Structure 1
Amino acid sequence: MRRLLLLLVAVLLTAGCASVPGSSSVQVLRKVTEGDAPEIPAGPADGTDPLSLVRTFIYANGSTVDRHSAARRFLTPAASQGWDDGESLTVLDEQFDTVYPPTSGTDPNVATVRIRGEQIGTLDSVGAFEPAESPVEIDVTVRRDGGQWRIDRLPGGVLVRLSDFRTNFRTLKARFVDPVRRATVTDLRYLPAVPAQALPSRVVDMLLTGPSPALQGAAQTAVPATARLRTNVTESPDGALVVDLTQLGDVDEARRRLIAAQFVLTLAEINVPRVRLLADGAPLLDGPTDLTADALSSTNATVQPGADVPGLVVTGGRVRRLPGGDPLLGQAGNGAFDVVSAATTADGARLAAVARDSGRQKLLVGATDGLLAAVSLTADAMSRPTWTPTGSEVWTVLGPGPRAVVARVAVDPNGATRTGQVNVSALTALGPLTDLRLSRDGMRVAAIVGGGLVTGAVVRGDDGDVVVRNVRRLWPTDLTQVVGLDWRADESLIVVTAPSDRPVSLVSSDGLTLQLVPSANLTPPLRAVTAASSRPFLVADQGGIWSYDGGELDSWRQVLGASPDGIPLYPG
């Protein structure tokens, strides 16, 4: 198995720093922050042989400064002039080889060097990462001139190792719009970290192009297609970023507020505190001239569970509170039903439970501490339910088998239910679907398909139909025998697998990074996992339920023992 660049995740749940044991092969990647420009790689050393020259050229490709000027030092003048570095960007796994092909020419001053490695994916023209694991094999020609080897012929595009990509590109959560809820959702993008002064203009251009392919059809932009910049993006004398738009057309105040939220919240990602957003020179919104992220935070579509809503666990046929294991007061906890799995809405008020019934399973919905009513659904097996952010729908996979169906149960404010289906043919085309979780903004799903991790976008039609599209299989070589998954945030997933060499991992929702979570104290194989922002991870192993806060030198702590069938859950 090829070696991966893995990240220790001790810093992901708290403000603590990562700690890497001296014997570990895990590498910690430095993130670039404002004012922390990556060091420009040096040029080729005198006397470098062809293989080392090409390898060091790949290292230098990470620096985007001045059209990859660092990498161009490794090229002959003719090659530098002809190289189209903007044609494509391929992200490579850390381990790659430079070798001589079996056959080569007879000219002692010309050689062919073959680059062999594995690509993780590509970066598209709008800064979105597209996962695509596949072998890479590229030949370049090197020529000796004046005693020094230089690359004389190479294909267009750039090959960048993952570590160099992370060092030289900045992660950005761009904001677009959920067309149903009219709220903002995040879309992962990556921008060159330097020059820092170009970042605001790049962000604005990105927002004018619309959502990435991963969210096409699911998210929209509130910015009209005709919109353009009236003037260049500038900074005012008092420090506000001035963005002056034109050709917006006739847009009402609600849409203007969404436009403002897209720009202001996205620009806040690159540490722009105040935005003076104009339309043909006049303020876009009534009120303060300069807009801040705090003023527009209410537009966020993501719903995280309240701090007073506890985590739960299903064990022994009952739903219990964590920590401690006290059963819920209602039918979910008093033994009225033999509960297999459950989920509560983000506010904790409503619960959906899968219960055994005469050799089959059924879905129940009702008040968390009250009565539960059966929904007109039964199956040989049902996956753990998952709620939309508003608590108006609950989904579950009816299976097992290659023809699994995803049921969508609409729940009105009075508790009445209406049952339908989600079109998941794009998922089932990849293999048997066994589990599915909605993201906390409701725009994405993560699923276990054929034992692997697959993501997709939730597309809601005007006719009420719901379809999962834009599916992507993430890290298929490394994430096998997946047994549980959940969304930690809209940009990251936690995954547990049966193999003991990688029992718990964090994965970015676009598949760029796979991050190893320490597994000390856990006893594989694991069974289930749950996560939420600013909450400890909860994992079920052979002995009980374990919690991981992610602090420096932290380890998993048991929060409930003697529960070999336990399934932990956070609201959502």
Structure 2
Amino acid sequence: MGADHDGGRRRTPLRATAYAACGVVLLAGCASMPDHGDLSDVESTPRQETQVRVFAMPPRDDAQPAEIVQGFLEALTSDDPRYSTARQYLTPAAARTWEPERSTTVLADGPGTLAGQSGGREEGDDFTFTLTGTKVADIDAQQSYTPAAGDYTQTVHLTRDKKTRQWRIDALPEGVVMGKSDFQRNYMSVNKYYFASHTASAGSGQPMAVADPVFVRERVDPMTQIVRSVLDGPTSWLRPVVRSSFPTGTALARGAALAPDDQNRLTVPLNDKAARIGHGKCEEMAAQLLFSLQSLAPTVDEIELRAGSRQLCSLTDDRATAVAERGAETHAAYLYFVDGRHRLVRMSSTGGNSAKADAVPGPLGDGSTAFRSMAVARDEHTAAGVALDGRSLYVTSMVADSSLGDPALTSKGKTENDRLTAPSWDRQGDLWIADRNPADPRLLLLEQGGGEPLEVLTPGLDGRIKTVRVAADGARIALVVEKGGKQSLLIGRIERDKNGDKPTVSVQELRSTTPDLEQVTAVTWAGDSRLVVVGRESGGVEQAQYVQCDGSVPETGTLPGLTEVKSIAASEDGDAPLFATSKDGLLWLPGGSGWRTLKETASAALYPG
């Protein structure tokens, strides 16, 4: 499972497929397994660092039930595009009805197999195995990942053909099941992109691109897979808040297999459903595909769309930035932090021991008012600050002659911990914050950073919000929620209904992205679908790690150790360094090395957002 990166795929760059020993790696499907008795495990194939194609062997003549089940489970982990070898372990009827693309269940280890008893007939032509394991995740038919927990128990039934006397599986669970290491070897995480339905960039007015992470089989023509997935539409969770520019029914032309040419241009042949679209809509379609494919193969820098023999449009990487905006393409001019005097200061976002910090212009940086948390708008012209006691929120311009003015929001909480959280901006210019007052806990939205605060509905929220971090696209939000002394990180989609006199905003279908953590100290978005989280598991030590917004963990998930973290700052731009504040002061993480201490005193670090 890969890490989100600006303009790049979340694992390693796309490489030509290598074939081991001038051929392929074959899964023998012939390991010995008892026909009855104790629980045994199907060994998960160790993670391989080199790119190899793995194919399974078909069942051998007179294979016994245990060998058939073993061979079938191993065939599920192969690179066979249509699972044709796995189907050979099934009866003809089961092979016709089995739908491996319907789901994938990921277990902590390979599935265990517990042999049952025969059906009791004299011929002994029935046998049953129970597959067991501990669930880690489920991947649905839309290729969407969901963390899972609990026991996995499913039954596989075998029968012996009356004519051939060969054992075959005639009843089995739907979809595919495999161990975590096989899943990591077989699948890769890729962002596909759509456009936010109700938000646009405040600066350019362009539509905001929203990442929709899915998992595709890494060595089974992933480029064609991801294009088909984009055309099929967004996943169910994201669909209510995004749109696709592709007309309904648009699909790849029959038999299309995609590969870029030697100019890094990819030609995508579509069916006639796209033949009559206008040029502007066509460029949005091309931008969706270009953003999506660059998370798989960064070298692709032009998309050409065709319908039949006619070119619809062509879009280069440079031109795509004029069609739509996405967080990973936006580069912050400064890193900001709250210094020892409780004022807002900034320095070059590239970091470095020689970087010099200066107070921002205006009342947030002049020291006249003490602040405990800040948020800088993504255009870097406006900022919001929560006063040191947590009671008042101020919003003002970062220019020398601006004034602080009256608070935009005031909490009535009795203690500092029962008042306002740190604020957060989306790219539309809206400001998000939570009031932790136990008597009236609320998630609030200030449109364009001002006006009457709008209470955001949070159906299903169980606990009190500790941290608010809205994604740049304004379609998703990360909330750290406390309950019973524990914290969890939840991601929700932001739904906006502007019908009637008063708009309604809600956060729907909150889902946990860090089910193994019981304490979450800090969180920030670090890409279009990736976050950095500081927290600890039960009985563990605090650590910083990357997580995907779908709850999967990239291969390079764990970051160098930190202690007593107060805040962490990351940019959606994957090339920008990480910053953090801890008991050691302000730290930064240059690429490929450990944390380094800067000569600054800081209580909170932040990028715009």
Q: Specify if TM > 0.5.
A: yes
CA 1:444–1:37 in structure 2 vs 1: closer, same or farther (change >3 Å)? farther
- Separation of aligned partners in 2, 1:41 and 1:386: 52
CA 1:297–1:13 in structure 2 vs 1: closer, same or farther (change >3 Å)? closer
- Separation of aligned partners in 2, 1:432 and 1:493: 21
* SS of residue matched to 2:27: coil
Match of 2:430? 393
CA 1:513–1:147 in structure 2 vs 1: closer, same or farther (change >3 Å)? farther
Cα drift, residue 150 of structure 1: 7.3
CA deviation vs aligned residue, 1:207-235 (integer Å, no higher than 9, x gap): 33221123121111112225455665367
Match of 2:175? 157
- Separation of aligned partners in 1, 2:135 and 2:209: 32
- Separation of aligned partners in 2, 1:462 and 1:235: 41
Match of 2:351? none
Match of 1:452? 488
2:518 alignment partner, one of 472, 477, 480: 480
1:547 is aligned to 2:609: no
393-402 vs 313-322, greater mean Cα deviation: 313-322
Q: Unaligned 5+ residue runs, structure 2?
A: 43-66, 201-206, 348-354, 414-418
Report % sequence identity: 22
Aligned residues: 530
* SS of residue matched to 2:391: strand
2:311 alignment partner, one of 254, 279, 283: 283
- Separation of aligned partners in 2, 1:274 and 1:562: 46
Residue 432 of structure 2 contacts residue 446 of structure 2 at CA under 8 Å; is this kept in 1? yes
CA 1:150–1:210 in structure 2 vs 1: closer, same or farther (change >3 Å)? closer
1:468 is aligned to 2:507: yes
CA deviation vs aligned residue, 1:159-217 (integer Å, no higher than 9, x gap): 13333223223433212112332343322122223442xx4544443233221123121
Q: Which amino acid aligns with 1:219?
A: V
1:42 is aligned to 2:27: yes
CA deviation vs aligned residue, 1:91-112 (integer Å, no higher than 9, x gap): 42433562537x7569799765
1:528 alignment partner, one of 567, 582, 585: 567
2:109 alignment partner, one of 79, 95, 99: 95
2:447 alignment partner, one of 391, 402, 410: 410
1:506 is aligned to 2:520: no
Q: Unaligned 5+ residue runs, structure 1?
A: 1-5, 16-27
Match of 1:19? none
CA 1:560–1:401 in structure 2 vs 1: closer, same or farther (change >3 Å)? farther
Match of 1:62? 77
1:556 is aligned to 2:595: yes
1:169 is aligned to 2:187: yes
CA deviation vs aligned residue, 1:480-534 (integer Å, no higher than 9, x gap): 21121110001111111155534211101111226642344x223x232121122
Cα drift, residue 479 of structure 1: 1.8
TM-score, structure 2 length as denominator?
0.75
2:387 alignment partner, one of 332, 355, 368: 355
* SS of residue matched to 1:512: coil
- Separation of aligned partners in 1, 2:254 and 2:6: 41
CA 1:230–1:92 in structure 2 vs 1: closer, same or farther (change >3 Å)? closer
Residue 13 of structure 2 contacts residue 296 of structure 2 at CA under 8 Å; is this kept in 1? no
* SS of residue matched to 1:411: helix
Cα drift, residue 306 of structure 1: 3.4
Matches within 5 A, 1:117-516: 117-141=133-157, 153-179=171-197, 180-181=199-200, 182-196=207-221, 199-227=222-250, 233=256, 241-248=267-274, 251-271=277-297, 273-279=301-307, 281-285=309-313, 290-303=314-327, 306-322=331-347, 323=355, 326-356=358-388, 361-370=391-400, 371-379=403-411, 380=413, 381-390=419-428, 392-401=429-438, 404-411=441-448, 417-426=450-459, 428=461, 430-450=462-482, 451-463=487-499, 464-476=503-515, 478-497=516-535, 500-513=540-553, 516=557
509-518 vs 359-368, greater mean Cα deviation: 509-518
Match of 1:21? none
Match of 2:50? none
Residue 371 of structure 2 contacts residue 385 of structure 2 at CA under 8 Å; is this kept in 1? yes
- Separation of aligned partners in 1, 2:439 and 2:239: 27
Cα drift, residue 76 of structure 1: 5.6
Residue 485 of structure 1 contacts residue 493 of structure 1 at CA under 8 Å; is this kept in 2? yes
Aligned alpha-carbon RMSD (Å): 3.8
Residue 252 of structure 2 contacts residue 268 of structure 2 at CA under 8 Å; is this kept in 1? no
